[in-house]
Every structure is written in structure tokens, then in C-alpha cells.
Structure 1
Amino acid sequence: MKPPIEDAPMGFASLNGGTTGGKGGMVVTVSDSEAFKEAIVGNTPTIVQVQGTINLSGMNDVGSNKTILGLGTDAKIVGGGLYLYEEKNVIIRNISFQDADEDAIGITEKTTNVWIDHNTFSNAADGLLDIVRQSSFVTVSWNVFTNHHKTILIGHSDAASADAGHLKVTIHHNWFDATLTRHPSVRHGTVHALNNFYNSNLSYGVASRMEADVVVEGNYFLNTWFPCVTQYADSDPGDIVEYGNIIETNMPPPVSRDPNDPPPPEVPVCATRGTAFDPAAQYPYTADKAENVQALVTNYAGAGKM
């Protein structure tokens, strides 16, 4: 059964006053880059409806109190990305992001209350989605990530200790389709990875670094030989708690292209460390059973599925 299309986020984006985007503001429909860039700036509540393909370059500023919503099944942002710097209350839904020449979406410098929902991301020059520099109260839901290496980065660097206490992110019902790393990679943050489908992620699934607190719950890992890692590259370790996950393989482990990766094990397991946190003490939610996640996510995640 198709899940209902919600009008408000579940998870951390529901806290801190909630995330409503441009609700109650004017509605603008755009179909070219100049109109799009004009509509997304400033703090006036606005619902920006994207029709067709918007060709961009570089990172393009998005103001507070905005909903950026793709119309129909073919709304695209191609060639450039969206940049949220010291903003609040932004929703981005139903858009395919392709071939960004930097990040597809960059959330930075204390930006709060962002909901990234029902989008498809592929092939950026850097990250598909970065959440860094004390940004927080973000939910990433029902998206597809494909054809990429560095997928979701949470926490700018090992040295960014000011991020501790921020970077509160919920990542649920996403499809990580043969992407290599960062699903997500977390430094210093507090992250709930819930009911995602991990498919043939050759390097690793979830990484907790630099005393991050990560809960990995009810996910389905298929042919991902390192579903969870508590340390990566030169970073100090972080905490991971896992429960209710399914980890399966139906093929021999391939050779990773990442020199940081050790040889894969015969039987993959989700590495754990510490105690992390209790998501149910943060916000209400109902987890789907892990055995249902593959079908739910492959059928209903991504742009054009709302």
C-alpha cells in the first residue's frame, strides 16, 4: 500500500518550531533559471513551483521560509546546486538533481529546519547533500541517491568540534542505490537512520566518526559488506546503536575502489559502539519492519512519486 504523502516532516525537522517552508505565502511557478533564482531568495514565505528543467551553475542561494516543489514527474535542476547559508524553514520536494558542478544541496552555517523529501540525486562534482557547520533539525526522507561516490556528509571536518550539540538529522525511507560512501558519514552529530534501503554500497553504509551519536534502525542492507562503521579514514570513532536491521548478501563481495576500506568479511555485520541516543525520546514515529523496506522504498521514493 502506498504510504500517505505527508504535509509535514517526521523526525528532527518537526522540532524547533517545525518546518513549514513557504506555507501561507504566495505561489510562483517558474520554468527558467532567472525566474527560479529570483523566486528562491529573501525571507518572504513563498512556494516556488518548478516546471520542467532548470539549468543552473555553481551554488545558488535559497532564502528562509521557502518551499521548492517540482510539478508533475519531470521537474529537474541540472548543472548547479542549492545553497542554504544561515537560513531557516526550507522544504525541497519532488525534484531530480543532476550533474551539479559542486554540491547538489549544501546546508551550512547554522541553517535550521530543513525538509528534503521525495527527490532524486545523481552525479554531483562533490557531495549530493552536505549538512555542516552547526546546522540542525533536518529531515531527509523518501529520496533516491544514485550514480555517486560521496553521498551525504554530516559534519564538516574532524576539527569542527563546535558542531557537537547540533547536526540533528533524521534520514528515513531513502534508497542508496549503488552509491559508494556517506549514507551518511557523521562527525559530531546526532543522527537517526531509519528504514532506508542500502543496495550494493561497495565501500560502506553508515559511518559514525568523532563521537557522533548514530542510531541505525529498521534498515535493509543488501550486498553492503560494511553496513555500519564506527571509524573511517583518520577520524576518531563515533557511537552507533543498531536494532531491527536486515543484512543480506546474494553475491560475492566485489573489490572496493576506496583505499581506506579493509577486505570485506564473509558475513557482514553492523559495527556498534557506545550508547548513542533514544530517537523516541526526541520525537514520535512508527518504524516500518525492515523486511518491508525494500519494496516500500523502491516503489515510492524519489522524484515523481508524490
Structure 2
Amino acid sequence: MASVSIKLGFFFLVCGTLIPYLESHIADFDEYWQQKAEEAHQVSLETYHPEPYNVTEHFNAVVHMDLFGSNNTRRNLRKNRGKCLATNPIDRCWRCDPNWANNRQKLADCVQGFGYRTRGGKGGPIYVVTDASDNDLVNPKPGTLRHAVIQKGPLWIIFARSMIIKLNQELMVSCDKTIDGRGANVHVAFGAGITLQYVNNVIIHGLHVHDIVSGSGGLIRDSVDHYGLRTRSDGDGISLFGATNVWIDHVSMSNCADGIIDAIMGSTGVTISNAHITDHNEVMLFGASGSYSGDSIMQITIAFTHFGKGLVQRMPRCRWGFFHVVNNDYTHWLMYAIGGSNHPTIISQGNRFIAPENKAAKQVNLKHSVTKRDYAQESEWKHWDWVSEGDLMMNGAYFVQSGNPQVYKKFSRQQLIKQKPGTYATRLTRFAGTLECFVGKPC
């Protein structure tokens, strides 16, 4: 363990001198952002899990126990036909509580996967967004979402009513925040997207994010104490840049100018769960570039997500890091579902893949396509650890594995409780996307 810490410490010392010069949409990399970058690297180092397989097997154990662990759990499954319709362990943690609206912060105890440390705004006050406008980027109006996300300390942000928020420029979220859309129909749409840059501990839950466009940049406040000049934003729905301990849950997302969710520049400790994603080309990009090995510490879980109609590729596309893709439902894609380059480790477990009728897209990973395993000959990528276990392949889909198929089986039997097979994907993702939650009723 000590040797791992020493190596990672040296790694961050080297990479920390490089990041300020890489693309970050910061027009002038001032001392404020230099300090934020250094702080973010330290949190990334602390968040990085030296034995990621322990995290994946713990996740699988929780799913297994939730579905088959006891007679009581079986009785709970039968109750799903009644008032409480939670069908996976993350949802079971909070959705059956009719008092969810008075106990919102219980949600923070429910995250699984690599984002398991994320607490968002737990312990902080409730901030109610009452105003959908976004007219002043330097001095945001109290009651707006932009004013809420820059406040100091933990904050649990909710919405007074349903609203459409058109962001004039990217929304810069600060540390220790939860954006909780339950109980309202909240759309972040037709403007810029949400940016998590050099921040730690953020939950985004229950939002519709769609029709996002690139912002032109300008002076934008990112905290109570600082605003600065930003260059043009890419048009991602949600962008993670050097962000750690992030949980994105029950979002419905589509049609963004760039990626739906992108995570780059050493972002790690991330869980994306219960999402419903439709109508987009390049869905998720994890890893900044082939030249930035700092993304080797990236660890991301994608779980219980429905990749739906109108999708083309990158669900996700991965570089460098470690990615657990588990119990998702892939019902549509055009080019491919999962791809990558720069020797990422990808563990695909218990997903359902339904290939399109297009014969060229029958493979989950097409070894001869640059959009699958990029920039590497077979002699190189055959050593990358890409494992498929318990996946359900339909309509001719197949997964080209590589590396050591037993690589994750080097731990104890207790850690190897089998994840749920792909035949359960439809049940586990049944309520993917935003939920209709009513006060006084289970959500």
C-alpha cells in the first residue's frame, strides 16, 4: 500500500505541473485556479482506490443480496407490484419512504460503486430555487440555480416548482452540493450545460438535461469569492474536469452539442446510475486524450442505466482508467456500445445488449474499427483487460474480450458473489431516468 501511495504521489507531482496548460476553458489560469487544481489533485489521490476490483465485487454483492439475499427481500420484490416500485438496491435505499420529501438527505446514503464516498450537500441547509432565470453571470440573483451552486459549504438544492432553466453560459458548480429535482419537473435545456471543474462531492439527481449548446464564454462567477473569464464551453450536458466523488442519478438526457456526460483530467470516484439517455451521437467520453496519462486514476461505475433510442456510439468510450459497466440495458446503438483506447480496464457485467439490424453494428466491440479499440494493433490491445461476464447478447450482438478474463477473480470468495445476469437488466433499469415524485407517497 505504501508503495502505491508513493508512486501515485510522484505521478501527481508530475501531472500537476501539466494540467494548467491543458484545455480547461480558463482564459487566464490565475492563482485561484492554480490552487483549485492542486487541491483537486490531492482529493483525487485520496479518492483513487488501489484495488478497484474490491469496489466492483462489493457492488455485485449488494445487487445479489438485494434480489436474492433473503426471504424478506423476496417479499419486497412482490411488493413492487404495489405502491413501492423500486427495483434495484440504490432505489430501494430511499424510494419506498413516503416521507422522502422530509428526509431528502437520506438519498446521500444510497450511492454505490466508485462514487460511494459522495455525500453532496448532506448536513447542509436546504436551498429552494424559486427563479428559473439566468441573467447575471457575475452577480447571480438569489433564488436562481446559479446563485445556489456557488454558495460556500454543503447545500441541498431543491426546486419550488417545475421549471425550464436556460443557462446563458455553463453552470459552475462548487464543492459539497446536491442538485435534487425530486418533486418538480426541472429541465436544464436550450442553453449551456453543467460543469464540475476541480470540485469534490457533488450529487446531481432528478434533472432533465437536453438540447444543450456551446456557450460563448465570458465572465462567470464560480464561487462567492471569485469570478473569472471563461473561454467557449464545449456543449456537454454534464462535464467533469478534475472532479472527484460525483454521483449522477435518475437523470434523463438527450441531444447535447458535444457529450452527454464527459469526464476528463483525472476525474475519479464517479457513479452514474439510473439514467435514461436518448437521441445523441457521442454519448460518454471518459479520458481527455491519448497523451494525458493522468486519467489512469479514473474509476467510474455505470449502473442501472437505459441507453435508449437514437444513440450512435460511446456508451462509454474510455481511455486509461478502470470502468465498471454493470446491469445496464442497451436497446439501441448504431455504431457500437462500448469502446476505448490507451489500455483502459473495462468490466462489463450483467448488461443486456440488443444489436441493431445494421449488420455492421452487431458487435459491442468491433476489433477492426477505430471507434472500438482505437489506435492500437491487435498485438497490443489483446493485453487490455476487457471482460464480459453475465451479459445478455441479443440479435447477434457479441463482445470481443481481451486480456485476462479472470483478472477480477483474484480476491476472496466472499468478494466474488455473482452479479445479476443480463436477463435482469430490464427489471433493474425499469425506472431509469427522472421520476414522478409526489409528497406523501413513495417516489
1:272 aligns with 2:404: no
1:11 aligns with 2:113: yes
Amino acid at match of 1:278: Y
Q: Which residue of 1 aligns with 2:133?
A: 33
Deviations 1:72-98 (A, max 9, x none): 251111122110111000000011001
Which of the residues 234, 241, 260 maps onto 1:108? 241
Which of the residues 278, 286, 289 maps onto 1:154? 286
**1:214 Cα deviation (Å)?**
0.5
Q: Is the 8 A contact 2:113 2:271 kept in 1?
A: yes
Map 1:1-306 to 2 at 5 A: 1=80, 2-3=86-87, 4-6=92-94, 7=107, 8-14=110-116, 18-31=117-130, 32-34=132-134, 35-50=144-159, 51-52=161-162, 53-72=164-183, 74-78=185-189, 79-101=191-213, 102-109=235-242, 111-164=243-296, 166-178=297-309, 179-224=311-356, 225-229=362-366, 232-233=370-371, 234-236=374-376, 237=381, 238-249=384-395, 267-275=396-404, 278=408, 287-297=419-429, 299-304=430-435, 306=443
CA distance in 2, matches of 1:275, 1:90: 34
Q: Is the 8 A contact 1:58 1:80 kept in 2?
A: yes
- Percentage of pairs with the same residue: 28
Q: Which residue of 1 aligns with 2:59?
A: none
**1:208 Cα deviation (Å)?**
3.0
CA distance in 2, matches of 1:72, 1:106: 25
Q: Is the 8 A contact 2:353 2:397 kept in 1?
A: no
CA distance in 1, matches of 2:263, 2:403: 23
**1:217 Cα deviation (Å)?**
0.3
Amino acid at match of 1:36: L
CA distance in 2, matches of 1:92, 1:126: 19
Give the secondary-structure state (helix, strand or coil) at the position aligned to 1:294: helix
**1:180 Cα deviation (Å)?**
0.8
**1:292 Cα deviation (Å)?**
1.9
- RMSD after superposition: 2.3
Q: Is the 8 A contact 1:208 1:229 kept in 2?
A: no
TM-score calculated relative to the size of structure 1:
0.86
Question: Moved runs in structure 1, 4+ residues, more than 4 A?
Answer: 283-286
Q: Which has the higher strand share?
A: 1
Q: Is the 8 A contact 2:392 2:421 kept in 1?
A: no
Q: Which runs of 5+ in 1 are unaligned?
A: 250-266
**1:54 Cα deviation (Å)?**
1.5
Q: Is the 8 A contact 1:229 1:272 kept in 2?
A: no
Q: Which has the higher helix share?
A: 2
Give the secondary-structure state (helix, strand or coil) at the position aligned to 1:68: strand
Does the C-alpha gap of structure 1 residues 279 and 11 become closer, same or farther in structure 2, counting only changes over 3 Å? farther
**1:200 Cα deviation (Å)?**
2.0
- Segment of structure 1 superposing worse, 25-34 or 113-122: 25-34
Q: Which residue of 2 aligns with 1:253?
A: none
Q: Which runs of 5+ in 2 are unaligned?
A: 1-79, 81-85, 95-106, 135-143, 214-234, 357-361, 437-442
**1:278 Cα deviation (Å)?**
2.7
**1:55 Cα deviation (Å)?**
1.6
Give the secondary-structure state (helix, strand or coil) at the position aligned to 1:80: coil
CA distance in 2, matches of 1:141, 1:58: 26
Does the C-alpha gap of structure 1 residues 37 and 284 become closer, same or farther in structure 2, counting only changes over 3 Å? farther
CA distance in 2, matches of 1:30, 1:95: 13
Amino acid at match of 1:289: P
Amino acid at match of 2:193: G
- Segment of structure 1 superposing worse, 121-130 or 152-161: 152-161
Deviations 1:137-191 (A, max 9, x none): 0000000010101111100111111211x11000001011131111110000100
**1:242 Cα deviation (Å)?**
0.7
CA distance in 1, matches of 2:167, 2:203: 19
CA distance in 2, matches of 1:280, 1:182: 29
TM-score calculated relative to the size of structure 2:
0.60
Q: Is the 8 A contact 1:86 1:108 kept in 2?
A: yes
Does the C-alpha gap of structure 1 residues 123 and 5 become closer, same or farther in structure 2, counting only changes over 3 Å? farther
CA distance in 1, matches of 2:181, 2:262: 21
